[in-house]
Structure formats: structure tokens, C-alpha cells
């Protein structure tokens, strides 16, 4: 039987997943600002939620929120192959962000953590793409994706920082209850 504490946490995590999914869907409707120089690159608005979940609840719940959001987002979009890319990027970026946040917090702000997550996400997607197309030449695209990762990671990190600052008074209450 679920306790009141578990129920509250489940509701918070469901809300975070829903917000992430909403951002994922909204972003898919916005014209891509990177199309001219980095086709396929996205801002990654839903990653704001993943980073916030990581800070508030930890890696286990951040993985759950990111994987659910990626899976449901892929099913909603109807593009199954994008689900594979999204989920692989979600796992790698979440684990990398957790590692940096956990062990190198005194060297990297949340913005730096986010940049590492964006880099990890793009590298994971390139690995999956190279396996699917059976060609390592796709890694020639890595420098372009690295530049976009820095930009998007900084943007996502700033936004997550701002959001966490706004809800800071409630974070301790959320985690304790």
C-alpha cells in the first residue's frame, strides 16, 4: 500500500513527466533554429525537466522521467525510430549528468552539468545512428553537434537553474514529504 509520502512523490514525478512530454511535443511544433547549420539538432526543452528531476529526486527518478517522456513522446509522434534515438540519449545524458553532478559539483555548475548532458545525448545518438546505418562516417558530424550541445546545454542549464531558484522554497518540502 502506498503511503502519503510515496503518493505525493509519484504525483510529482507524474507531473514532471507530463511537463517534459508537453515540452517535447511543443518543441516538435516549433521550427528548428539549427536547421541551417545542424540538421536534426534540437534545443531539448524537455531536458530542463530531466535536470530538475535529477537535482530534486536523484538519478533513479531522473532516468524514469526521461525514459517515460522519451517513450511516450516517440509513440505520440508516431516515429518509432526517433524513440530509439531519444531513449539512448536520455539514458546516457542522465547518467553522465548524474556523474558530473555527484562527483564534480564543486567544479561544474548546473550549467556545466547540462552541457555534459547535451554532449552525452548527442554522442549516444550518433552511436545509435552509426549502428543503424552501419557506418562510422556519421561521426564527422560530431564537431557540429558539439557546438550545438554547448549552446543548448548552456540554455537548458540556465533555465533549470532559474526554475530551481523559483521553486527552491518548496524543494525541501517536496523531498521530505
Three-class DSSP category at 126: helix
**For the chain, which domains are there?**
4-176 (1.10.1760.20)
The yes-or-no verdict on residue 6 having pLDDT over 70 is yes
Span 7-23, pLDDT tens digits: 888 998 999 999 999 99
**If you average pLDDT over residues 134-150, what whole number do you get?**
91
**If you average pLDDT over residues 112-120, what whole number do you get?**
96
**If you average pLDDT over residues 150-173, what whole number do you get?**
85
Span 66-105, pLDDT tens digits: 999 999 988 887 778 888 888 999 999 999 999 999 999 9
What Cα–Cα distance (Å) separates residue 155 from each residue in 2, 43, 76, 135?
A: 37, 8, 26, 31
Question: What pLDDT, on a 0 to 100 scale, did the predictor assign at position 1?
Answer: 47
**If you average pLDDT over residues 53-63, what whole number do you get?**
95
**What is the CA angle 148-150-151, rounded to 5?**
65
What's this model's pTM, rounded to 2 decimal places? Answer: 0.87
Amino acid at each position: 500500500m502506498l503511503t502519503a509520502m510515496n503518493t505525493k512523490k509519484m504525483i510529482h514525478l507524474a507531473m514532471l513527466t507530463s511537463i517534459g512530454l508537453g515540452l517535447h511535443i511543443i518543441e516538435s511544433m516549433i521550427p528548428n533554429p539549427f536547421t541551417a547549420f545542424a540538421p536534426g539538432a534540437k534545443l531539448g526543452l524537455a531536458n530542463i525537466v530531466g535536470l530538475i528531476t535529477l537535482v530534486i529526486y536523484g538519478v533513479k527518478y531522473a532516468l524514469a522521467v526521461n525514459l517515460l517522456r522519451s517513450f511516450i513522446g516517440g509513440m505520440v509522434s508516431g516515429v518509432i525510430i526517433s524513440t530509439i534515438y531519444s531513449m539512448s540519449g536520455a539514458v546516457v545524458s542522465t547518467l553522465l549528468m548524474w556523474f558530473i553532478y555527484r562527483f564534480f559539483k564543486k567544479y561544474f555548475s548546473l550549467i556545466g552539468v547540462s552541457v555534459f548532458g547535451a554532449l552525452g545525448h548527442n554522442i549516444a545518438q550518433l552511436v545509435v545512428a552509426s549502428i543503424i546505418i552501419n557506418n562510422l562516417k556519421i561521426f564527422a558530424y560530431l564537431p557540429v553537434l558539439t557546438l550545438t550541445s554547448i549552446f543548448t546545454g548552456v540554455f537548458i542549464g540556465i533555465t533549470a537553474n532559474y526554475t530551481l531558484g523559483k521553486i527552491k522554497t518548496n524543494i525541501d518540502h517536496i523531498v521530505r514529504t
